[in-house]
Amino acid sequence: MAMNDVLFHIGEQAVSVRHALSAVVLVVLAIVLMRVLKTGMERRATKNPEQRSRLYSARLLVNYALWVLVAMGCLALLRIDVTVLLASSAALLVVISLSVQQTFTDVFSGVVLLVEGTIRVGDVLELGTLVGRVKDIRLRTSTIYTHEGMSVVVPNRRFINENVVNWSHHASLTRFSVALSVAYGSDEQRVRSVLADCATKHPLVITADQEHPVVVRLVGFGANTLDFEVLFWSRNVFRIEQTKSEIRSAILEAFRTTGTSLSPTASGTLQVAMLPMRPETVG
């Protein structure tokens, strides 16, 4: 078969073997270029891990732009008149555009995410009731890996239209809290001491940094209780619920060793029964 022989027709346009092979070569070259780009960026990311997310976003944008150019180049090599196709299917395009409005919104949102870099691969996010680490960002959807070990596919428009808490954005340390309620008349200083001690002894709580101390606060006066919370800083953002659970267990153990009775309140907050007041010093 000669290079100029007609391979097939698209409408009235004849596509020769040479045109088809040129389009195939263009696609192959684009794939090779993308792999070379991926290898180069991965090597650079290995040397500079802090730039991994930016390099990943840049590579995706380059890939999408390159595929658009390849598609346009293939149409030109195959001598396909795009304007004729668009004109002949204008009504169909209107129907399709109306039915995929959300898809277009997701794609546009994906481009915004990749360009701005406010959300990156590896960030820990809180999106409504969903909490997890960003595993992948694509043009239309992103994948979030949750505490339960599930990969949740999220449309990109949610990151633009909803409030998103990025626990990893511009911060290596994040502050968390554990709440506790005690009965009126309890020894306030003893409560403070137990809460601070249990939080400070946890290995994942920051204790050596004076700018991020462990703090115990009296936050409210309930109908039957004094409401306390212990504030602490940690780098363990993704597994912080486990850290909180371990601190609560330490608090329980600390009160039980003194014979203090414990009971839950109607709101689910732990209530410590009356703690004995410290004896007054008789002068």
Domain residue ranges of the chain, discontinuous segments joined by +: 6-97, 112-166, 174-272
Helices marked H in the chain: 17-47, 52-77, 82-88, 90-99, 101-116, 157-161, 188-200, 240-256
Contact between residue 180 and residue 230 where contact means Cβ atoms under 8 Å apart: yes
pLDDT for 214 equals 93
Domain 112-166: which topology?
SH3 type barrels. (2.30.30)
pLDDT tens sequence for the chain (283 residues): 566 666 666 656 666 777 778 888 888 888 888 888 888 877 776 766 556 666 766 777 777 788 888 888 887 777 766 665 555 555 555 555 655 677 778 888 888 887 777 888 888 888 888 888 898 888 788 999 987 788 999 999 899 888 888 877 656 678 899 998 888 888 888 889 999 999 999 999 998 888 889 999 999 898 888 899 999 999 888 788 889 999 999 998 888 886 665 555 555 455 565 565 544 433 3
Sheet containing strand 225-234, strands side by side: 215-221, 225-234, 174-183, 270-272, 262-264
pLDDT for 282 equals 37
Domain spanning 174-272, CATH class: alpha beta
Contact between residue 219 and residue 226 where contact means Cβ atoms under 8 Å apart: no
- The reported pTM is 0.53
pLDDT for 82 equals 61
